[in-house]
Structures are given as structure tokens and as C-alpha cells.
Chains A and B, each alone.
Chain A
Amino acid sequence: EAGVAQSPRYKIIEKRQSVAFWCNPISGHATLYWYQQILGQGPKLLIQFQNNGVVDDSQLPKDRFSAERLKGVDSTLKIQPAKLEDSAVYLCASSLVWDEQFFGPGTRLTVL
């Protein structure tokens, strides 16, 4: 069974630029999550989708971050414009059973 796929694996941008990350969850997993993991910290949930609807986006900085899951499968997370403090690993996860989440390898973002 294929795992959660993410791309790109690495991205370096200048502050105020835009960036987008892509995630393809495990086949059949209706729930998809985006997390931000700052160096030395545990992952922090940004947004959770159930199929193509948003379940929880309470910790998403909506002034600059957006996410969508149009067809209930793939998802994209966008940052526009990026700030220095957005440097982190962005993890995508999916689950069939609540709480038992399977993570992708992440995208390491560096904002200069």
C-alpha cells in the first residue's frame, strides 16, 4: 500500500514570495491533515479536511495560509506571502480511523 506522498521535498524562497505544497493521501483515507513542524517542536495541526470539507482550521493563519481539497483526494497548502517564521517542515497526514494518522515525508521550507 502506497503511503502519503508529498512534493516538493525541499523549497527555498525569499520572504514575501508565494509557495505551494501538494499532498496525495493514502487511497481510501477520507481525512487529510496539514501540520507545521518547527525545528525542535512537535507537529502542530494547521487544517483538517473530511473529504473536501474543512473540519478544523482554527490554527491556520488565514491571512497568509490557504488550503484546499477540491475533489476529496489531493490537497494543496499555500503560503502567500511567506514570512521568515514560516520556515518549517510541512507535514501532510491522512487517516481512515480517527486519530491513527499516517504521515508523509514532509516538505522542508526555508524562507530567506
Chain B
Amino acid sequence: GQQLNQSPQSMFIQEGEDVSMNCTSSSIFNTWLWYKQEPGEGPVLLIALYKAGELTSNGRLTAQFGITRKDSFLNISASIPSDVGIYFCAGRGYGGSQGNLIFGKGTKLSVKP
């Protein structure tokens, strides 16, 4: 089945630093989404991408839909302590039923004040 490889698995950064993480697929995806999950809570949608090459921002977060349709990137600028959590990429490939998202294993972000 379709799989997503998300990297890095974890990151330990200093407050104020920029963060980059990415996700790659074994097949072409037509939708990419980025979620953040905090302990004891469900994932929260951060950014949704629907077109190859699309670059979308949400505050200090910027995500891009790769032009190959097999990858996506999330950048966080000037990190702050509340950015701590697990970031998941999710996507849907062609042929998948509407809404049938596949999730990566997550990038755990730790921010040191």
C-alpha cells in the first residue's frame, strides 16, 4: 500500500530557530496536509495543499506541495515554546477514496527556551 516517509523523526532546537521537515511518498499524491498533535489531544489541521508547486503560509508556518507530487515540506520560522508537539504529514493518492488520508509517522519537535 501507499506509504509516507516523514523526516526527521525528532528535532531538538533552540527557541528562535527555524525548523524544516519533509514527507515523501512512494507514489503520486493529489492532496497534502500538515497536522500538529499535542499530548492527549487529536491532530489539528495546520495547512492543506491541493496543487503541485503550491506554497501556503499560516502565520509562521509555510508548507509546499512538491512539484513531483511525491513530497511536501513544512517550515516553521522563529520557533517558540508552544510549537512543541508532533507534526504529521498526511496525503491522499490517486485512486484513494475521498477523505482516505495516509499519515506519516510524525516529527516530534522539542523547543528549548
Q: Are A98 and B98 in contact (CB under 8 A)?
A: yes
Q: Does A20 contact B (CB under 8 A)?
A: no
Q: Which of B40, B41, B101, B106 contacts A101 (CB 8 A)?
A: B101
Q: Does B104 contact A (CB under 8 A)?
A: yes
Sort chain B's interface into a size bin.
20 to 34
Contact A45:B42 (CB < 8 A) given known A99-B31, A99-B33, A99-B92: no
Q: Which residues of B contact A42 (CB under 8 A)?
A: 4, 6, 88, 90, 103-106
Q: Are B45 and A101 in contact (CB under 8 A)?
A: yes
User: How many residue pairs between the two chains, A and B, have CB atoms under 8 Å in the bound complex?
Assistant: 61
Which residues 84-104 of A have a CB within 8 angstroms of B? 91, 93, 95, 98-104
Number of A interface residues, CB 8 Å?
Answer: 24
Q: Are A100 and B106 in contact (CB under 8 A)?
A: no
Write the nearest CB–CB distance from B87 to chain A, whole angstroms: 10
Q: Are B99 and A48 in contact (CB under 8 A)?
A: yes
CA A4 to CA B45, docked complex, whole Å:
13
- Most-contacted residue by chain A among B6, B33, B40, B42 (CB, 10 A): B42
Q: Which of B6, B90, B99, B103 contacts A31 (CB 8 A)?
A: B99
Q: When each residue 68-98 of chain A gets 1 if its CB lies under 8 Å from chain B and 0 otherwise, what string results?
A: 0000000000000000000000010101001
A-B contact pairs, 9 of them (CB 8 A): A40-B106, A42-B103, A42-B104, A42-B105, A91-B42, A100-B48, A101-B99, A103-B42, A103-B43
- Besides A42-B106, A43-B88, A91-B42, 18 more A-B contacts (Cβ < 8 Å) are A4-B42, A41-B105, A42-B6, A42-B103, A42-B104, A48-B99, A55-B97, A55-B98, A91-B43, A95-B99, A99-B33, A99-B92, A101-B45, A101-B101, A103-B43, A105-B40, A105-B41, A106-B41
